[in-house]
Structure 1
Amino acid sequence: MFKDREDAARRLATRLSHLRGKRPLILAVPRGAVPMGVILATELEGDLDLVLVRKLGAPGNPEYAVGAVDEAGHVYVNPDVTDWLEPAYLAREVERQRALLAARRAQYGAPQVDPAGRSVVVVDDGVATGATLIAALDAVRARRPAHVTVAVGVASPQAMERLRGHADAVVCALVPEDFHSVGQYYQEFGQVEDADVTEWLGAWHGPGR
């Protein structure tokens, strides 16, 4: 178990220490992974930015991810839901989440760093199904980075298997067999607010950067 997101980020930084000196680009998945991204970018002497994706919630259970969508409209759907997920519902959910992505991008500001040709680390605090993070990885891949590593605090074994097909390397601090939820592996797992993200990004991209 981690004490908090900072603890998870520092454990990941240790496992990614081979990237120090290579100026990696750390792309955090908002909102929870942003404080982790700040630590990784600092520890690895890299750059920091965001990759924006939104979970596609299941009918009647919005917390369960049936897939995810990125800013460009690319959609990933979990293979195990295609038999029962209605196309009409999926189309409505995609449009709803894309509208939220547009609003979030307007709040956070335009991307600051081009990942083309870069060594990129996509970071998240935890992964249950893998849908959101896979959409993030596919979005990053489309921009032609040289190498993509996914770094997560905790993941289910099923999510780990799915992630391996979408990144050059997968680094995860905890892969418990009895995984139930991301939050159960953090002693402190408070909500990260949009205002927090905006403040962290403003400080990172401010004068002197």
Structure 2
Amino acid sequence: MFRDRTDAANRLAERLKSFKGKNPLILAIPRGAVPMGKIIADKLGGELDVVLVRKLRAPHQPELALGSVNESGWTYLADFAQLYGGSFDYLAAEKQTQLQTIRERRAQYTPIRPSINPAGRIVIVIDDGLATGATMISALHGLRAMKPAQLICAIPVSPPDTLTKVAELADEVLCLEAPPHFQAVGQFYQHFPQVDDDEVIALLRGA
């Protein structure tokens, strides 16, 4: 159990201390992971930016990810997508909805500071936890195409089977806790508030 995202970020930063002084690029998945990314970037002496991905929500179960889409439009679909109502037409429409959200967020975030090129960099992708792993899979897939020197996934908590999927796309996966009985990321935090766009923008401006 983590007290909050600050606690989780501090614990991750301790495990990532071998990258201190190597100017790592910390890429946080908005919005929840951005406050964590700021803490980790500061402790490691790295740079903070965001990687924009969105989950494809199940019909009538918006918290369940049937897949995800990244900023390039590449789409990942979970093998159970059709079982939960993920028809071709539904997923096509949901993909366009989420791409529009990505475009809106880029328009909000980019004027604060242009995105940082990950090519040739040590890149550490941060999230506040994984469930299906869908958004992390899309994030790592898109970043690999940009040719980072090293691609690392760092999260506080994840189910073991999700870690297996993610490990195929990263050079290294660091996960603090991998409990076998997993329902949602929030169950492993005592305090897990929503993070809004204003906070993300303020953190990127400060970075």
Q: Aligned-residue CA RMSD in angstroms?
A: 1.2
1:82 Cα deviation from its structure 2 partner? 4.9
The percent of aligned pairs where both chains have the same amino acid is: 50
The corresponding residue for 2:86 is 85
Separation (CA, whole Å) in 2 of partners of 1:101 and 1:81: 21
How many Å separate the matches in 1 of 2:173 and 2:132? 15
Using the alignment, how far apart are the partners of 1:43 and 1:167 within structure 2? 22
Asked if 1:107 corresponds to 2:108, the answer is yes
Which moved further from structure 2: 103-112 or 23-32? 103-112
1:32-87 Cα distance to aligned partner (Å, 9 max, x none):
00010001101111111000001100122121000000111110111232566311
CA distance in 1, matches of 2:146, 2:82: 28
Unaligned runs of 5+ in 1: 205-209
Q: What is the distance in 2 between the residues matched to 1:52 and 1:132? A: 9
1:190 to 172, 189, 193: 193
Instruction: Identify the residue that residue 127 of structure 1 maps to in structure 2.
Output: 130
3-state SS of 1:96 partner = helix
Instruction: Determine the structure 1 residue equivalent to 2:8.
Output: 8
Aligned ranges 1:33-182 → 2 under 5 Å: 33-82=33-82, 85-109=86-110, 111-182=114-185
Amino acid at match of 1:137: L
User: 1 CA distance for matches of 2:128 and 2:86?
Assistant: 27
Please give the secondary structure, in 2, of the residue aligned with 1:106.
Answer: helix
TM-fit CA distance, 1:203: 1.1
Deviation at 1:4, TM superposition (A): 0.6
Report the secondary structure of 1:65's partner residue: strand
**Structure 2 segments unaligned to the other structure (5+ residues):** none
One-letter identity of the residue aligned with 2:131:
A
Q: Deviation above 2 Å: which 4+ runs of structure 1?
A: 79-85
Q: Secondary structure at 2:125's aligned position in 1?
A: strand
Q: Deviations over 1:2-34 (max 9, x none)?
A: 111011011111111110111100000000000
Q: How many residues align?
A: 204
Whichever residue aligns with residue 159 of structure 2, its letter is: S
* C-alpha distance in structure 1 between counterparts of 2:34 and 2:96, whole Å: 25
Name the SS for the 2:162 alignment partner.
Answer: helix
Aligned to 1:207: none
